[in-house]
Amino acid sequence: MIAIYPADQRYHASHGWLESRFSFSFADYYDPNNIQFGPMRVLNDDYIAAAEGFGMHPHREMEIVTLVLSGRLEHQDSMGNKANTTWGGIQRMSAGTGIFHSEMNPSEEEPVELLQMWFIPASQGLEPSYETSSFDPQSLQGQLVPIVSGTSELQQPGKVAVIHQDMTMYLTELAEGQSVRFQQEEGRRVFLFVLEGGVNVNGGTQDALLSRRDSARIEGEAELTVTGKASGSSRVMLIDLP
């Protein structure tokens, strides 16, 4: 089953300095039929104005992944970590038993666009931790590149962030007509999100066309074929979930 969630049907929250679009129930948006997908609990598509951001605030018992799409994001937390992230970088924070952090746009001129994703950890009571990792954007062309994983065989210090859940997050970039394939193990599910461009999923049998910021929640498909359908390149995130 491939369930398509169009970008324009996401909840939109506007705060002047912050424009957010929620893929799952969050803050003032509540839909009992849209709480989570497997352990995936939050995907917020955020646009933060220059010199603005989220001040220090707490989190508990959640794995938080931040992918910066454009601009620059500055992180600080109660463990003393401080980092700046741009496109090509990943932040992973395990809130565990409790942590405070801030996420600010340090630029005085440019906005920052990012995706923040929350995942329920496989076990609770973890010690809080934070890490940054990076990937080569050029390596995404025509292949699925892991950027965050709970699978030890895929983890690479500094390149593939460690997450405390049985899941893996991939990125790929596809030229028009170019495809990648993914084998979906029985009993697992896939969340697909189009960052830029447009793609077709399993064209021919279950034709699904997704455009920029559309997503798909996929279950019961033994194999997925994702094909670039936009002129130029299309950028896609695929998350393999239990």
* Residues 133-163: tens digit of each pLDDT: 999 999 999 999 999 999 988 888 899 999 9
First-last CA distance in the chain: 16
Give me the architecture of the 8-134 domain, per CATH. Sandwich (2.60)
List binding-site positions.
Answer: 57, 59, 101, 103
One-letter amino acid of 51? A
Residue entry with tokens 């506007």: 14
- Eight-state DSSP code of residue 26: B
* Residues 9-46: tens digit of each pLDDT: 999 999 999 999 999 999 999 999 999 999 999 999 99
Distance CA 14, CA 46 (A): 10
Q: Which residues of the chain have pLDDT under 70?
A: 204-207
pLDDT at 204: 52
pLDDT at 157: 86
Query: Domain ranges in the chain?
Result: 8-134, 136-242
Same fold, 8-134 and 136-242: yes
Sheet holding 189-196, edge to edge: 2-5, 215-219, 189-196, 233-241, 168-175, 145-149, 161-162
Structure tokens at 170: 């991939």
List binding-site positions for Fe cation.
Answer: 57, 59, 101, 103
Q: What is the pTM of this model?
A: 0.95
Domain 136-242 sits in CATH at 2.60.120.10
